[in-house]
Structure 1
Amino acid sequence: MMGERLVMQESLFYTFRLEDHVPPDHLLRSIDCFVDCSELRQHLDGFYSTTGRPSVDPELMIRMLLIGYCLGIRSERRLCEEVHLNLAYRWFCRLGLEGKVPDHSTFSMNRHGRFRDSDLFRHLFEAVVQRCLDEGLVGGEGFAVDASLIHADANKQRSLAGSDWRAQDHPQAAPRAVQEYLATLDEAAWGAATDVEPKFVSPSDPAAQWTGAMRGPAFFAYADNYLIDLKAAVIVDVEASRAVRQAEVGAARTMLERAAERFGLKPERLAGDSACGSAEMLHWLVDEQKIDPHIPVIDKSERQDGTFSRSDFTYDLETDTYICPEGKILTTSGRILNEGTNRLFLGSTFDCSPCRLKERCCPNTPARRITRSIYEHAREVARSLRGTPAFERSRQGRKRIEMLFAHLKRILKMGRLRLRGPCGAQDEFLLAATAQNLRKLAQRILPTGPQMTQGA
């Protein structure tokens, strides 16, 4: 028998608590106790006027943004709609049933204004990192560093050839993303990272790098750089940079220095890929920072044509000379090559010309030439660590940073940026890393935290 037609009965009074309708194992309930906005107003106090109409509560906007980045809601317009309809979202934002959701344009105005001027997202990220430290999730002994390419909001069809785009052609009235790029031309992570002219430039976002590093179709991208602690894969720092190797190395140094300055964290070892295996970076780690580099060394000295490589010669530290397989000596005049990073060692033509091994050593030159980095000591330290148990543990632990990037793109939907310019990329990366650390806290600390199926 068909039941009666359902008619909604309006009640005069309701007994309704949002608290009762948020499941105990809901992700937002799990991370709520780790979101501390008590110092938010004090941090922003100097960026609000003392007169005029009351503004939207900054804590409400921050909580809404955290919902968006924790749950992969990429559109702020859609985020406002979801918060309006979803009881759990209203509970997390402290809105109640009748609280008004701000317009989506409010986020843009505050992001480009007081949030960015006060570096609020960095402040929020570091507050969550400090909570991870307080909860014992950060060991501080082993770190890992890596970068992942994130598609920029730029279209190849509307790009210009690199030779056709000139910085001096853009006045102060240029779009915000262009102004941000011009302001970073002298920074190591941006304009000063490389003097190679890009093949294409996006007029709407010139800081985005045209790259084919993914071994597929080239695209405009930014590099999202993570520095993580290997104990529980907590993101200790995050930095946006151009999608080139030199910029990634500069970002790694910046993050290590900032972690030491802000939290007093200085690891004993650092795991990384070959992007950090340059002689200059290894010298900075070994000789200046006293950090063991668990990093593959960039070494192009091995020859593939059958002639002797540099490893076939013996270096004598006391006399600062190389000894060839026949026992002859190669000396150096101290001449520096390759922009001040290598010294040249030369054999004698009197020794090399009659040598029986000349065809295997220097068939095309009168005497053998060998270059040695001025930072070779640091390179040798890095080589000596390769294959040790500690190196293997770091190599295995570094996989966690790859898992974080996979989670970032697949679960948090950060495969493509919404915001443009260096500041826009930095804002998005900071919020996404904050969301990942909050999920990590909920998973590791609370017994009722989200399961692994909800993301790492």
Structure 2
Amino acid sequence: MMGHREKQQAELFYEFSLEGHVPQDHLLRSIDRFVDLTSVRDHLKPFYSHTGRPSVDPELMIRMLLVGYINGIRSERRLCEEVHLNLAYRWFCRLDLTDPVPDHSTFSKNRHGRFRESNLLRMVFEAVVARCIEEGVVGGEHFASDASLIEADANKQNSTAKEDWDPDKINPEIASRAVKDYLFSLDDEAFGAATDVVPKFTSHSDPSSQWTAARHGPAFFAYSNNYLIDTDHAIIVDVQASRSVRTGETYATRTMIERAHERFGLWPERLIADTAYGSAEMLAWLVYDWGIEPHIPVIDKSKRDDGTFSREDFAYERETDSYVCPAGKQLLRNRRKFQTIRADQSDLDFVKYGAAKADCEACALRQQCCPKGAPRRLLRSKYEGARQMARDIAKTEDYAISCKLRKKVEMLFAHLKRILGLRRLRLRGPNGANDEFLIAATAQNLRKLAKLFPGGPKPQTA
């Protein structure tokens, strides 16, 4: 017989507990064990007035933001609706059934005010990294770095071609927040000072974003999200936004390595990265300044494709500071003497070696070496020692292992875009990009901790 539920009078009192309605194996339960925001109020205390109406609890806003990024909820308006309806979200945010949910506009007001002025989001991110170190999932020996393009909140229709763009004509007093950030970051090595090349188009709404076609498809405005990870468990040690150019990404990596050492005392033995980080300057910085092994392919444009000898066919002799050609003749340093020294930067970064003209003209291998005219000359980078070290490392078994470990960074970016939904930024300017990247990296680290310790943190040994 078909059942029928008769309508009854509503009960006047209910016994209800959020704790009992959130499953023990829920993701937010596992994550909550590693979230400690007790220091948020002390960190923000100087930025609040001592009088006036009480504000929305900043810990509540941070917990709501974490819920949004952990679950791929990109809209803060929708986030407020979901927290209002979802019992697990309410439990994680420490909200009872009768507690009101903050309005979505509260997030924007605090983000552009107290949160950014106090650098709160970085403090929260570093607190989670410190917890990862405390749990023993950060080895601190092998780091990997990479960057991924994240589309900016800008489009070509609202942009200016490079021949018409002049930042000196911008009036800072009436400019938008993103434009002011752009003017402020013109001397930043990861943004305005990353390169003096003017992009083909500059966005009016977000001038700091880079017009790029790096994906070999339609060009778009983007920022680079730079990760520095520990390869033991793919924990994100640091994160930094930058302009989507190679020099901006390398400067961001330097900043992250320095900051990881300053904040946590981490000093890796090796850095794993792709060819984009294999410039002579970057390799020299790693080897000479920090003593870090560069497990990085070297950027080398000396290879010739016309069948003639490349620089690698010449043997370098350290004792005499000279090269020996395949015919056994020496190429000496600064064979030609100049009365005036040119101040070109390329002359400062490279040392010139040349063969004797008589040796080349009488050589039987001339057509394979310098068919267009004698004598043969070579350029050697002043950082060639670091470059050669990277080449030697590339021949080892450890380097082959490093190539596999580098894929962990790429997997984090895939997770960022597919699971967290961060394919396009909602906020504009360098500060907006940094805010989104920081909270997303915090969410990824918390999800990793929950995966590694589903039953809770390790018991502390006496």
Do Structure 1 and Structure 2 share a fold, with TM-score over 0.5? Answer: yes
Distance change (3 Å), C-alpha of 1:221 and 1:8: farther
The question of whether the paired residues in 2 share the 8 Å contact of 1:121 and 1:427 is answered with yes
Deviations 1:127-180 (CA, angstroms, capped at 9, x unpaired): 000000000000011000000000101112222112222111211220000000
The question of whether the paired residues in 1 share the 8 Å contact of 2:33 and 2:456 is answered with no
Alignment counterpart, residue 415 of structure 1, candidates 423, 446, 450: 423
Correspondence 1:153 to 2:153: yes
Amino acid at match of 2:383: Y
The question of whether the paired residues in 1 share the 8 Å contact of 2:47 and 2:114 is answered with yes
Q: For residues 385 and 46 of structure 2, what CA distance do their matches in structure 1 show?
A: 50
After TM superposition, list the pairs within 5 Å mapping 1:352-363 onto structure 2.
352-363=360-371
Q: For residues 7 and 244 of structure 2, what CA distance do their matches in structure 1 show?
A: 59
Residue 328 of structure 1 corresponds to 329
SS in 2 for 1:193: coil
Q: For residues 58 and 6 of structure 1, what CA distance do their matches in structure 2 show?
A: 46
The question of whether the paired residues in 2 share the 8 Å contact of 1:272 and 1:294 is answered with yes
Correspondence 1:312 to 2:320: no
Residue 83 of structure 1 corresponds to 83
Residue 365 of structure 1 corresponds to 373
The question of whether the paired residues in 1 share the 8 Å contact of 2:272 and 2:406 is answered with yes
Correspondence 1:17 to 2:37: no
The question of whether the paired residues in 1 share the 8 Å contact of 2:224 and 2:241 is answered with yes
Give runs of ≥4 in structure 1 deviating > 4 Å: 334-337
Once the two structures are TM-superposed, the CA of residue 340 in structure 1 deviates from its matched residue by 2.1
Amino acid at match of 2:40: L
After TM superposition, list the pairs within 5 Å mapping 1:177-192 onto structure 2.
177-192=178-193
SS in 1 for 2:431: helix
SS in 2 for 1:191: coil
Correspondence 1:63 to 2:66: no
Residue 232 of structure 1 corresponds to 233
SS in 1 for 2:374: coil
Once the two structures are TM-superposed, the CA of residue 423 in structure 1 deviates from its matched residue by 0.2
SS in 2 for 1:340: helix
Q: For residues 221 and 9 of structure 2, what CA distance do their matches in structure 1 show?
A: 55
Correspondence 1:303 to 2:304: yes
Q: For residues 164 and 33 of structure 1, what CA distance do their matches in structure 2 show?
A: 54
Q: For residues 245 and 50 of structure 2, what CA distance do their matches in structure 1 show?
A: 45
Deviations 1:312-349 (CA, angstroms, capped at 9, x unpaired): 11111111111112222111229786162111111111
Once the two structures are TM-superposed, the CA of residue 426 in structure 1 deviates from its matched residue by 0.2
Residue 244 of structure 1 corresponds to 245
For structure 1, which segment, 378-387 or 427-436, has the greater mean C-alpha deviation from structure 2 after superposition?
378-387
For structure 1, which segment, 248-257 or 388-397, has the greater mean C-alpha deviation from structure 2 after superposition?
388-397
Once the two structures are TM-superposed, the CA of residue 208 in structure 1 deviates from its matched residue by 0.7
Amino acid at match of 1:237: D
Q: For residues 224 and 349 of structure 2, what CA distance do their matches in structure 1 show?
A: 27
Correspondence 1:280 to 2:288: no
Residue 35 of structure 2 corresponds to 35
Correspondence 1:374 to 2:382: yes
Between Structure 1 and Structure 2, how many residues are aligned?
Answer: 449
Correspondence 1:438 to 2:439: no
The question of whether the paired residues in 2 share the 8 Å contact of 1:145 and 1:227 is answered with yes
Deviations 1:94-135 (CA, angstroms, capped at 9, x unpaired): 110001111100000000000000000000000000000000
Residue 404 of structure 1 corresponds to 412
Distance change (3 Å), C-alpha of 1:412 and 1:214: same
Q: For residues 410 and 35 of structure 1, what CA distance do their matches in structure 2 show?
A: 24
SS in 1 for 2:258: helix
Residue ranges of structure 2 left out of the alignment (5+ in a row): 336-340, 458-462
Once the two structures are TM-superposed, the CA of residue 256 in structure 1 deviates from its matched residue by 0.4
Q: For residues 131 and 2 of structure 2, what CA distance do their matches in structure 1 show?
A: 57
Q: For residues 401 and 8 of structure 1, what CA distance do their matches in structure 2 show?
A: 58
Once the two structures are TM-superposed, the CA of residue 365 in structure 1 deviates from its matched residue by 2.3
Once the two structures are TM-superposed, the CA of residue 2 in structure 1 deviates from its matched residue by 4.8
For structure 1, which segment, 328-337 or 317-326, has the greater mean C-alpha deviation from structure 2 after superposition?
328-337
Q: For residues 218 and 8 of structure 1, what CA distance do their matches in structure 2 show?
A: 63
The question of whether the paired residues in 2 share the 8 Å contact of 1:337 and 1:344 is answered with no
Q: For residues 149 and 269 of structure 1, what CA distance do their matches in structure 2 show?
A: 25
Correspondence 1:196 to 2:204: no
Q: For residues 90 and 171 of structure 2, what CA distance do their matches in structure 1 show?
A: 44
For structure 1, which segment, 282-291 or 69-78, has the greater mean C-alpha deviation from structure 2 after superposition?
282-291
Deviations 1:1-35 (CA, angstroms, capped at 9, x unpaired): 55436647421111000000001111111101111
Distance change (3 Å), C-alpha of 1:323 and 1:438: same
Residue 293 of structure 1 corresponds to 294
Q: For residues 349 and 105 of structure 1, what CA distance do their matches in structure 2 show?
A: 75
SS in 2 for 1:235: strand
Q: For residues 331 and 399 of structure 2, what CA distance do their matches in structure 1 show?
A: 34
Residue 49 of structure 1 corresponds to 49
Q: For residues 339 and 245 of structure 1, what CA distance do their matches in structure 2 show?
A: 22
Residue 257 of structure 1 corresponds to 258
Distance change (3 Å), C-alpha of 1:263 and 1:6: farther
Residue 4 of structure 1 corresponds to 4
SS in 2 for 1:231: coil
Q: For residues 437 and 261 of structure 1, what CA distance do their matches in structure 2 show?
A: 20
The question of whether the paired residues in 2 share the 8 Å contact of 1:25 and 1:448 is answered with no
Q: Structure 1 vs Structure 2: percent identity of aligned residues?
A: 63
SS in 1 for 2:425: coil
Alignment counterpart, residue 394 of structure 1, candidates 374, 383, 402: 402
Residue ranges of structure 1 left out of the alignment (5+ in a row): 450-456
For structure 1, which segment, 167-176 or 56-65, has the greater mean C-alpha deviation from structure 2 after superposition?
167-176
Q: For residues 341 and 26 of structure 1, what CA distance do their matches in structure 2 show?
A: 57
The two structures have a TM-score, normalised by structure 1, of 0.96
